[in-house]
Amino acid sequence: MTIEPIGFLLALAAIYAMTGPMSAGILLLCLCTLFGAAAAMILPALGGANIQPFHFVLVFLAASVVLRPKTLAAAASSLNYPGPGFWFALFVFYCVLTAVFLPRIFAGATLVYSMARNDDTHVITSALLSPTVSNLTQSAYMLGNLWCFAIIAAFGRGGGMPIIARALIITSGACIIFALADVATYLTGTANLLSLIRNANYRILDDGDIAGFKRIVGSFAEAGAFGYVALALFTFVLMLYLEGFSARFLGLITIALAAALVLCTSTTAYAASAITAVLVLLFCLSRFVREKATHRHIVYLAICLFAIPLVVMVLMLIPSAWESVHDLVKATVTTKLETHSAEERLRWNAQALDSFLETSGMGAGLGSIRASSFVVALFANVGAPGAAIFVIFAMSLVRSVLRRDDDTHRARTVGFAALFASIAQISAASISAGSVDLGPLFAITAGLATAYALGPLHMEVDVGEGVAQIAFAPEMETSSVELNGGGPAAADWSPDFHFGRGRRDNRHD
């Protein structure tokens, strides 16, 4: 086991988060979703497997939750039937079971493309199905995602939804900073300055360009991974902005992330962004039809329906500009399927589907098969039963959020933003993701959407005359008290986003 320099730094930050307020741990966890090319620890005994910063910090945060009985109970309650948390937990546990049994049951029955690990490199190779280290590592990642999902849901249901939203806004700003640093170090030939966060032992594609445009990778290993996370964050902050969430620089961060998505040259990001833009467009149209649209919704409609087509037509009148745009679109979209990389990925998918059939629809086990689409990876690894459970989870999440009738505008805004961000990630993963694991950011956004869908936790407290309903805030200095028959109590505590005590806030959403 080797602890990297970034691992020591994260350990110090995580220890502070354990001893400080939960808000510090949530912020640290969100920021760690950006370190996609970093390794806090490397495990030579497992073929040089990387322990990424997110999962490294999650261990400390999980220990902190275990030491907070109320938060632990709240996390467990967020996985109760019939809520989305139950179906997500069932999906994760089923995935882990497939990783243990299916590679042994169907050993040698099919040819698979999988990750081969050694101390220096990770490569994709074809071999007959058998148990591998990837079955273990993918199981650990999925269980970590479930822990994160439950923690976020518990914290959100305890009144922390605005805190998590602000943590993700800060993460969005950090994502932009890393993107700028990536471009700046590329132009100046000083990419080694980012070696602290690019220390994982797999190939880092940080020096590529397409049609004269630098492929933005930020703090990730390649442009596709950056586009995946940037799209999720952009969708989240866009929905917050449209719904009027109050946060500094929110509009500026939204515009900057949109620009980063356009310039990242990721085919997956472009395709998934188009899907997400249409979904947000439909959302704004529904607001407009129901006469609930604000000027921000109308501006978004105007941009999508009029401004973008107008900009395209203006560019067509400028030959040099249009040629650059045309070359970029041709390289990233039109001729993408003709590249060697695309041919290889299509071969992975074809073999994965063959493996699905050759295992009688049961799949080869979590982590056994590498594909180039989340949908294909889902069927190939965990089979039809696993795919069915995930579909039920997704439908439960969407239905629960849409059916939730919360009179708190801020909670509804954050809940819908988290839902749209989760859908954006599923869309992007369905285009090019190689495994069943949707990543830590999905666990955060899905957990946050679940927190809104389930509503605040409550417990009855004897206050002498009558019973008070207290919005249960696990281990946080926040509650909203309402006496039976007596209307709202005077105290309405709303936690501010900082590392100290909560502040008194009598404002209502």
With respect to residue 34, please indicate whether it lies within any of the assigned structural domains.
yes
- Is 472 found in the same domain as 371? no
The single-letter code of the amino acid at 484 is N
Burial class (CB in 10 A: 0-12, 13-18, 19+), 357: exposed
Q: Provide the whole-model pTM.
A: 0.85
With respect to residue 193, please indicate whether it lies within any of the assigned structural domains.
yes
Q: How confident is the chain (509 residues) per 10-residue block, as mean pLDDT? A: 83 85 90 89 72 89 85 90 94 96 91 67 74 90 94 91 94 95 90 84 72 81 90 96 91 94 87 93 91 89 90 84 76 68 83 92 92 92 96 96 81 94 95 90 96 76 35 40 34 35 38
The single-letter code of the amino acid at 259 is A
Nearest-angstrom CA–CA distance, 71 and 307? 47
The tokens describing 390, both together, are 């995930």
With respect to residue 291, please indicate whether it lies within any of the assigned structural domains.
yes
What was the pLDDT predicted at 120? 52
Is residue 227 a contact partner of residue 428, using CB atoms and an 8 Å limit? yes
Is the bond into 82 cis (omega within 30 degrees of 0)?
yes
- Is 298 found in the same domain as 278? yes
Is residue 257 a contact partner of residue 172, using CB atoms and an 8 Å limit? yes
- Is 268 found in the same domain as 246? yes
Collect all residues with Cβ–Cβ distance below 8 Å to 251 and sequence separation of at least 6: 241
With respect to residue 509, please indicate whether it lies within any of the assigned structural domains.
no
- Is 497 found in the same domain as 410? no
DSSP assignment, residue 213?
A: E
User: Which structural domain, as residue segments, surrounds residue 328?
Assistant: 2-458
**Torsion-angle region of residue 211: left (phi > 0), alpha (psi -120 to 50) or beta?**
left
What was the pLDDT predicted at 345? 82
Nearest-angstrom CA–CA distance, 336 and 48? 32
With respect to residue 31, please indicate whether it lies within any of the assigned structural domains.
yes
Outline where 67-115 has alpha helix (H).
69-77, 84-105
- Is 350 found in the same domain as 298? yes
- Is 401 found in the same domain as 345? yes
With respect to residue 64, please indicate whether it lies within any of the assigned structural domains.
yes
How far is C-alpha 156 from the geometric centre of its chain's CA atoms?
16
Element (H, E) at 154: helix 133-155
Nearest-angstrom CA–CA distance, 106 and 75? 36
Nearest-angstrom CA–CA distance, 43 and 24? 28
- Is 466 found in the same domain as 451? no
Nearest-angstrom CA–CA distance, 451 and 169? 18
How far is C-alpha 132 from the geometric centre of its chain's CA atoms?
26
Token pair 């599923």 is found at 426
With respect to residue 213, please indicate whether it lies within any of the assigned structural domains.
yes
With respect to residue 347, please indicate whether it lies within any of the assigned structural domains.
yes
- Is 178 found in the same domain as 55? yes
The tokens describing 397, both together, are 């999440």
Is residue 170 a contact partner of residue 30, using CB atoms and an 8 Å limit? yes
- Is 414 found in the same domain as 487? no
Burial class (CB in 10 A: 0-12, 13-18, 19+), 1: exposed
Residues linked to residue 209 through DSSP beta bridges, in sequence order? 214
The tokens describing 217, both together, are 């990778």
- Is 343 found in the same domain as 491? no
- Is 488 found in the same domain as 341? no
Alpha-carbon torsion (102, 103, 109, 111), positive or negative: positive
- Is 311 found in the same domain as 454? yes
DSSP assignment, residue 106?
A: T
How many distinct structural domains can be found in the chain? Answer: 2
Token pair 């085919």 is found at 267
Nearest-angstrom CA–CA distance, 366 and 437? 9
